[in-house]
């Protein structure tokens, strides 16, 4: 099962467009006042039939970068400007790019690229020279990633057992952290901890908090059943979604997930949660195809 799941992660094995789920990306207002979290006024920023996924905010929070599959099975990166409500295509290549993240200075973008040989590798793409992506060594078989600091990345590596490894860019060394992990990797706002998901089996999924100095992990909480994605707020509160509902968990204050918002019957399966640096906007994906 893990091999099938890993292959589906990056869609590298998909050869027919119809195999992709129909997904939409939404951006909504977000607020957290003394633990009272509100998500309101969701706007569909893609609003088309097809696959749009993996949203991430620009450093200034004004744009959302995402993956889109349009006329072929090959994916490109697009961006949506929240102020102007305009969509722009960022990459237009013969290979597929995934997981776009804009650098803090706004000058480059990191992506996972499925190369012509079907290898999944990590690249830095200068936004003023998009035709000259820079390969980052030590990243073969990468599926997902999270930037820790200028010299380290956390990587989800696809394999018989999907693993979490820490890459040190300066010497391309990799440290194995855990096996049988999930795709969601989130850095705490203070950048001291990495949160990831450990999947003991098909039903028991746990969120682990990894100390980035000692590389020691501790259990935070079990996930909502079958929920794959989460976000981390500045006070350590975790957010997850299940169906159309959002839940929160604050370590030290609660022992279980608490529902705080139900977006209603318009939404089917909310995934891929991303919150901007200003903590006033949230982006997420709704999977419309109930069979996927």
Residue ranges covered by each domain of the chain: 2-287
Q: What is the pLDDT of residue 290?
A: 53
CA–CA separation, 196 vs 135, rounded Å? 25
Give me 32's structure tokens.
Answer: 């957290």
pLDDT band at 20 (very low <50, low <70, confident <90, very high): confident
List pLDDT tens digits, range 108-140: 999 999 999 999 999 999 999 999 999 999 999
CA neighbours within 13 Å on the CB side: how many for 282? 26
* pLDDT for res 72: 77
Determine the number of helices (DSSP H) and then strands (DSSP E) in the chain. Answer: 1, 24
pLDDT at 1 over 90: no
* pLDDT value of residue 2: 38
- Report CA dihedral (33, 195, 46, 32) to the nearest 10 degrees: 0
Lowest mean pLDDT among 13-17, 73-77, 131-135, 221-225: 13-17
Mean pLDDT over 186-202 rounds to 95
pTM: predicted TM-score of the whole model, two decimal places: 0.92
Question: Please, what's the largest Cα pairwise distance for the chain?
Answer: 50
- Please provide the CATH number assigned to the domain covering 2-287: 2.120.10.30
**Cβ atoms of residues 19 and 249 within 8 Å:** no
Query: 225-278, pLDDT tens digit by residue?
Result: 999 999 999 999 999 999 999 999 999 999 999 999 999 999 999 999 999 999
Band the pLDDT of 28: cuts 50, 70, 90. Answer: very high
């Amino acid at each position: 099962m893990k091999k099938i799941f890993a292959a589906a992660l990056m869609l590298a094995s998909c050869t027919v467009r119809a195999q992709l789920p129909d997904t939409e990306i939404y951006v909504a207002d977000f607020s957290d006042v003394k633990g009272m979290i509100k998500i309101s006024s969701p706007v569909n920023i893609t609003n088309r039939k097809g696959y749009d996924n993996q949203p991430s905010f620009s450093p200034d929070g004004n744009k959302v970068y995402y993956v889109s599959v349009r006329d072929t099975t090959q994916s490109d990166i697009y961006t949506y400007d929240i102020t102007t409500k305009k969509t722009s295509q960022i990459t237009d290549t013969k290979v597929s790019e995934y997981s776009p993240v804009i650098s803090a200075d706004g000058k480059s973008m990191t992506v996972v690229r499925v190369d012509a040989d079907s290898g999944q590798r990590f690249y830095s793409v200068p936004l003023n020279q998009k035709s000259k992506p820079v390969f980052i060594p030590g990243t073969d078989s990468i599926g997902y990633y999270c930037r820790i600091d200028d010299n380290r990345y956390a990587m989800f590596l696809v394999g018989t057992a999907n693993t979490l490894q820490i890459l040190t860019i300066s010497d391309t060394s990799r440290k194995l952290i855990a096996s049988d992990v999930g795709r969601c990797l989130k850095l705490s706002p203070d950048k001291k901890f990495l949160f990831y998901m450990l999947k003991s089996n098909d039903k028991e999924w746990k969120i682990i908090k990894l100390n980035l100095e000692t590389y020691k992990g501790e259990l935070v909480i079990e996930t909502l059943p079958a929920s794959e994605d989460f976000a981390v707020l500045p006070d350590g509160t975790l957010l997850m979604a299940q169906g159309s509902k959002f839940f929160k968990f604050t370590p030290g204050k609660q022992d279980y997930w608490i529902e705080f918002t139900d977006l209603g019957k318009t939404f089917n399966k909310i995934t891929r949660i991303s919150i901007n640096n200003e903590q006033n906007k949230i982006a997420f994906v709704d999977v419309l195809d109930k069979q996927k």
